[in-house]
Amino acid sequence: MEISLNLRQLILGAAAVSLVILLALIGHAVTPVAEGSPLVLTPERWEAAALARRAGAEIVRLEADGRALAALAAAEPPDAVQAMLLAQRIYAGQRSGTAATATARAALVDAAAAVARYAGGGLARQAAIEAVNAALERIRTLRGQAVSRIPTDEQGRHVAFLPLASVGFAGREPDGLRARREADC
């Protein structure tokens, strides 16, 4: 009796099994669990996570522009050319974005215009400083809100995760997800 093993097929099979095990371990490590069962990633949750990341990046840009504007407004006397260039850069950079940052972006653009007018002699210093302070307050308000990388629903559970969640379920729906879906109906 002779047994012949094809070494190439054996290595390929071992590599495939190893890949499946690796994906299962990664999925188990990164999947958020609520009430003992993993949460399923839906397109809405994926979109919410992407919007939250985009809003967070916009807030960082708003803060940087606000600091630059405040430094320019604090200068005595302000450089009119620098003020105009900064106002143009802020206007160009803050024209579009998410709805979550719209009021702060508009306040920052208005403050940049006020500082440019103050630097050119067309507005009182106090009015420009008040406009900058109002814009900075709106930006601080955004930073104070819970803008996380992964949004949470009303129970505080994570609702976004990598789609490698169903390793141990073999086609059945987790009990926590079923209960949540029934509660939503």
Number of domains in the chain: 1
Residue 33 counted as domain residue? no
- What's the pLDDT score for residue 146? 40
d(CA 153, CA 144): 18
d(CA 53, CA 59): 10
- Give the best-scoring range by mean pLDDT among 44-48, 64-68, 140-144: 64-68
Residue 36 counted as domain residue? no
Residue of 4 and 104 predicted with greater confidence: 104
Residue 1 counted as domain residue? no
- Confidence class of residue 159 from pLDDT cuts 50, 70 and 90? very low
Residue 144 counted as domain residue? yes
39-43, 75-79, 157-161, 172-176: range with lowest mean pLDDT: 157-161
- What's the pLDDT score for residue 155? 41
State pLDDT tens for residues 81-139.
999 999 999 999 888 888 889 999 999 999 999 999 999 989 998 899 999 999 999 99
Residue 8 counted as domain residue? no
pTM above 0.85, yes or no: no
Do 108 and 68 form a contact (C-beta atoms < 8 A)?
no
Residue 6 counted as domain residue? no
In this structure, what token pair is assigned to residue 86?
């900064």
Residue 147: name the closest of 44, 51, 47 by CA. Answer: 51
- Confidence class of residue 183 from pLDDT cuts 50, 70 and 90? low
- What's the pLDDT score for residue 15? 97
